[in-house]
Amino acid sequence: MPDSHHGNTPAAWSAVAVALIGFMVGSVGLMLSPANYVVFWIGVALVLLAGVLFGVLAKLGFHGGH
């Protein structure tokens, strides 16, 4: 049976928020003229951090009860 939370948990929302910020930072880095690859890679790091954040928060019990 599917989880009734369907991603509506603090762990999921936190990870999505950090990933969204990472995508925005990376996009701005590529839109600058000339492209600023340092800013782009900071955005990539934030997106990867979002996955780690989700894993940590899920282990701490912020991803619903199972």
Tens digits of per-residue pLDDT, 26-40?
999 999 999 999 999
Q: How much is the pLDDT for 5?
A: 60
In angstroms, the CA 37 to CA 57 distance is: 30
Q: How much is the pLDDT for 1?
A: 44
Q: How much is the pLDDT for 2?
A: 56
Cβ-contact 44, 28 below 8 angstroms: no
The model's pTM: 0.85
Q: How much is the pLDDT for 8?
A: 86
Parts of the chain with a pLDDT under 70: 1-5, 7, 65-66
